[in-house]
Amino acid sequence: MVLPQNWEPVLRRSVLVCLLTIAAGTLGFMITEGWGPWQSLYFTLVTLTTVGYGDYGVSVAGKAFSVFIMLVGIGTISYCLSQIVQYATSRSLHSEACMIRQASLMNNHYIVCGMGQTGLRVARKLVGEGHDLVVIDSDEEHIKQLRADGFVALHGDAASDHVLLFAGIERAKGLAAVTSCDSSNAMICLGASAQNPDLHIIARAECDSAVDKLRRAGATNVINPSRYSGDGIVESLVRPEISHLLYGGSTDSLRFAEYKLNELKLEHTSSLRELLESHPRLVLIGTRDDDGEVEMRPDLEQALDTNSTIIFAGTIEQLNQFGSSVRNAA
């Protein structure tokens, strides 16, 4: 019998040994008892599975061979079956190990916890903008599909410290806790902020009463999807043109982006005016200092403070052009 060549060696070897043991038992009973192939095979399987013989009349030679099969064959079959089970288990763990290894190579990436409709949209948006990403979900079927779609996906409870460590929480830039359970999101925020106090954490809240709790748990910002979508509907009703400009979904839609000045190449730029003159299509919204204070429409003549963050508005194409031209390739 030729086993498929794409089977792993340990699996092929174990199956082959099992088949050889059964074949040897069948042949042995055919010789010692003079039985036909089918009866000998049946008696071999009865022996190996320790079911019992019933009223079979077996010769002295057959009994001796049965003892041999019991002592050697059953042990061999048991060992091979354990190898097959171990192989199957390792195969299921192999993909998880690959995901953990890929996550270990990431720095300044994002982590999305909870891959429902909201989490999936967040993940696709981040990947679409070119960010490295690790997703976590407790539903194994969701994880299989996410891996098939090319995501680095970990299976487990995102509130668990070791799962967050596998996702690279200490090196991550931001985390989104977007499960459908407020208490789960709070536990995720607690664990994430404890392991990385500087992490930017966004949490989803199903009800308004959970907002303060999530902030106390470590969330930098909390978003209630129902309120957020409700506000968007009102904007579309009352101010349709502005809503289309902001949320139209096309490449011409207005987007906002922030850049830390210490991450940009600004050797020949000393003021905000010079920075804007080199990128005239962008609109300067404001700057934010280390303390989080935002200055709207700042003085363009002020010197650039490398500890500040600048906030721009523009189309996706304009912002991408700016980012690729001034961002350090570190």
Residue with tokens 């009223």: 55
Neighbours of 319 (CB within 10 A): 20
Which domains does the chain carry?
Answer: 9-99 (1.10.287.70), 106-230 (3.40.50.720), 249-326 (3.30.70.1450)
Secondary structure letter of residue 303 according to DSSP: B
Residue with tokens 């289309």: 244
- Rounded to 10 deg, the angle between the 240-247 and 225-238 helix axes is 130
Q: What's this model's pTM, rounded to 2 decimal places? A: 0.60
Residue with tokens 């999936």: 120
| CA angle (326, 328, 329) in 5-degree steps | 125
- Rounded to 10 deg, the angle between the 60-68 and 9-33 helix axes is 170
Block means of pLDDT (10 residues each) for the chain, length 330 residues? Answer: 50 77 85 84 77 64 73 74 69 73 92 93 89 93 90 92 93 94 94 93 90 92 82 76 66 76 74 80 83 80 79 82 65
pLDDT at site 115: 92
Name the residue type at position 257: A
pLDDT at site 5: 44
